[in-house]
Amino acid sequence: MGRKRKRSSTDKAGSRELGKRQASSTSAAPAQAQESSQERAPAAGPLTARAPRAEFEILKPGAFGLLFVIALAARLAYLSVAKEAELFSGLFLDSRYYAETAASIARGHGAGDHPYLLSPLYPYILALFTNAQGEFAVGSVRLLQACAGAATAVCSAYIAGQIAGKRAAIAAGLGVALFGPLIHFDAAILVASLQGFSLTLGLALLIHADKREAPQVSPGRGHRSVLAAGIALGISAALRPTVLALCLLVGAVLLWRLFRNRGARATNSRRLLAFAVGCLLPVAPLALRNVLVTGEPILLSANGGVNFWIGNHSAASGVFRLPEDYDFAHDPLGKLNVERALGREVSYREASQWWSDRAWQDIRDNPERSLGLLGKKWLLFFHPQEIPQLGLSFPWHREQAWPLRLPVDARTWLLLALLAPLLLLFSGGTIGLRPAQWPLLFLGAYAAAIALFFVTGRYRAPIMPAAIALAASGLVTLWDLGRGRIQRGVVPCGISAALVLALGWWSQTLFQGPLRLPTSTGVEERQRGMSLYSEGRFTEAVEAYRQSLQRSDSAITHNNLANALKALGRLDECLAEYKRALDLAPLDATTHYNLGNLYRNQLQQPQLAAELYERATQLQPNMLEAHFNLGAARIDLGDFEGAIACFQLVQAKAPEGHPLLAQCPQALAIAAAGKAQSK
């Protein structure tokens, strides 16, 4: 049976009416009747090839609105359950850094005197929810991200609808709306939620641009959608710079179209220019700010080098592991590690390059291992578990919050997304595959960019709506093949089903064996303990820390447990925990500082305290609290000259608005008075 001819949108209505008349007429020509049967896809009669996508029924606005409401309801339900169960236990690590940077921006101090260290754009968004006193409306941010997650479900539904029709749109929209990891990350104070929305929106706009550029729809007007797509992807890159690689790839595709189709050179030129301008609008101001503040040509973030090393050094495992002696709280880029290694001060760009050079050296020394590691990271990208990074374990949260328990994991969606091109090819040839080209490009390029560094659940989450759109399209196509709605559907359906089962069995064997990962490393219990400690619930904090230590014997947890025991007055136990922490991490500046506080404030031994403070400043020169307390201990010892030097150093190094700046004048006055009396 021949493929049906492609028809413009202007003659569809007439064709449908003609089909109705032909269906009721015994004198209709066979070719005409055949075309009408393809339009209506009856259960009886000859099997047909899938209709071109221009004839797919699309969802009405009300259906998109219902998907938005369902997705938002799921996210609000999780926020309610998590609040009731006290799962939101404060802000830590990346989240805390973003909130502190937002507070600095809200107070008018800017993002610091350094290049952007993590996401460039996210702190500015958080600053909109931070008042001049630095108070952060975290609940409002979570509500914003819940709305963004719901909008992402709508975008995913639109993408799937353009590929395989309204059934695929409904499946994709519900898949994103109820997918537990996306609900989870929409509640986290991290970039994953807004990055996922902007990335999926950019993809939907590119597909919409191709549709509008079709001659029968709206010739020459797709460049507006391309401009909007460029802005969306530029925002996504400003949230996480790895998306820059995807922006370049999209630009390359548009450039290839420009040279491939000379008849539409003017149109394709406008589209390429519109996309480039759109990408630059969010990125250029951030890059300019880096140059003005540091004098260095750092495009967006300075953490690329250390992240590349974490993912590719000789002992890398493919997931996130902090370098030895790395103090994220005071040195997110490991700049001090570089300065200690080189014996001199370095710029942020030099530090990033040093980490990158070390990784490349390890790759050159053992290229076979590096290729194997790259393959392992590709496999980890398809892992059914949401690989945690510094806490936020999805399995741990799912156990305590029912809105996260939909029994569909990322591996299922990703495997179906990989099979979708084959299924679409079976159903409609290259024409059937054409609308899926942009989603396939996004998924492949994004996975490759992640594999260059390391794999975590929150890095994978932003591309999952695109993967779910592909998977939903593949599922609908597989259903049609199995039901015989598409010509020669039995054999392709059998092949596809066999591939799904084989890949599922193989992945299950792999991820339950060599690539099995722990569901939690105790970070969640530790962070819960930190939250309880900040609320003054010290006995409960001790219990939480002990639960954490049952999962992992961590120096950080021992240090925090010692803090809680000290607050309860259990000083012998406290001292033992600090010493255990130093046994596990002898170069940890924070533990030296906290132990110094114990010796000075509780045990009244200023000499030991001063030695510990001084060691902390050697290990972490940017720890201003250790410098200040060293000055206080030197006053106790009668070393007023040394105390004055410490307080002056704090004044010189503390950024504008730092709380220690307000204490330095009084401390200096006390030290000066002591010096005068000692003469």
pTM for the structure as a whole: 0.81
pLDDT of 411-434, one tens digit each?
889 988 988 888 787 776 666 678
Angle, helices 624-636 vs 606-619, to 10°: value is 150
pLDDT of 457-493, one tens digit each?
899 999 999 999 999 998 888 887 766 655 555 566 5
**8 A C-beta contact, residue 503 and residue 199:** no
pLDDT of 534-588, one tens digit each?
889 999 999 999 999 998 888 999 999 999 999 999 999 999 999 999 999 898 8
Exposure string (b/e) for 459-494, b if CB count within 10 Å is 16 or more?
bbbbbbbbbbbbbbbbbbbbebbbeebbbebeebbe
pLDDT band of residue 24 (cuts 50, 70, 90) is very low
| DSSP codes, 343-410 | TS---HHHHHHHHHHHHHHHHHH-HHHHHHHHHHHHHHHT-SS---SSS--HHHHHTT-GGG--S--H
Across the range 401-408, mean pLDDT stands at 89
pLDDT of 520-539, one tens digit each?
678 888 888 998 998 899 99
Which residue, among 583, 613, 586, 587, has the nearest Cα to 598 in the 3D structure?
613
Average pLDDT, the chain: 84
pLDDT of 88-136, one tens digit each?
877 888 898 999 999 999 988 888 888 998 899 999 999 999 998 888 8
Across the range 617-636, mean pLDDT stands at 92
- pLDDT reading at 597 higher than 50: yes
SS3 content of the chain, % helix, strand, coil (to 5): 70, 0, 30
Residue 226 per-residue DSSP state: H
Q: Give the C-alpha separation, 363 to 377, whole Å.
A: 15
Percent of the chain residues topping a pLDDT of 70: 83
Which residue, among 605, 608, 606, 629, has the nearest Cα to 617 in the 3D structure?
629
Residue corresponding to tokens 């989603």:
439
pLDDT the model gives residue 6: 42
Q: Give the C-alpha separation, 433 to 440, whole Å.
A: 10
Q: Note the Cα 526 to chain centre separation in Å.
A: 22
Residue 659 per-residue DSSP state: T
**8 A C-beta contact, residue 626 and residue 616:** yes
pLDDT of 319-345, one tens digit each?
888 766 677 667 778 888 888 889 898
Question: Could you tell me the sign of the dihedral formed by the alpha carbons of 286, 290, 291, 293, in that order?
Answer: positive
**8 A C-beta contact, residue 526 and residue 541:** no
Q: Encoding tokens for residue 511?
A: 């991820």
**8 A C-beta contact, residue 379 and residue 510:** yes
pLDDT band of residue 212 (cuts 50, 70, 90) is low
pLDDT the model gives residue 448: 92
pLDDT band of residue 50 (cuts 50, 70, 90) is very low
pLDDT of 136-185, one tens digit each?
899 999 999 999 999 999 999 999 999 988 999 999 999 999 999 999 99
**Is 453 in a helix, a strand, or coil?**
coil
pLDDT the model gives residue 187: 94
pLDDT the model gives residue 135: 86
Please list, in sequence order, all residues whose beta carbon lies within 8 angstroms of the beta carbon of residue 434, skipping any fewer than 6 positions away: 53
pLDDT the model gives residue 82: 92
pLDDT the model gives residue 54: 43
Percent of the chain residues topping a pLDDT of 90: 53
**8 A C-beta contact, residue 590 and residue 559:** yes
Exposure string (b/e) for 101-110, b if CB count within 10 Å is 16 or more?
bbbbbbbeee
pLDDT the model gives residue 487: 53
Please list, in sequence order, all residues whose beta carbon lies within 8 angstroms of the beta carbon of residue 436, skipping any fewer than 6 positions away: 163, 420, 421, 424, 470, 473
Across the range 400-411, mean pLDDT stands at 88
Question: Could you tell me the sign of the dihedral formed by the alpha carbons of 634, 638, 644, 647, in that order?
Answer: positive
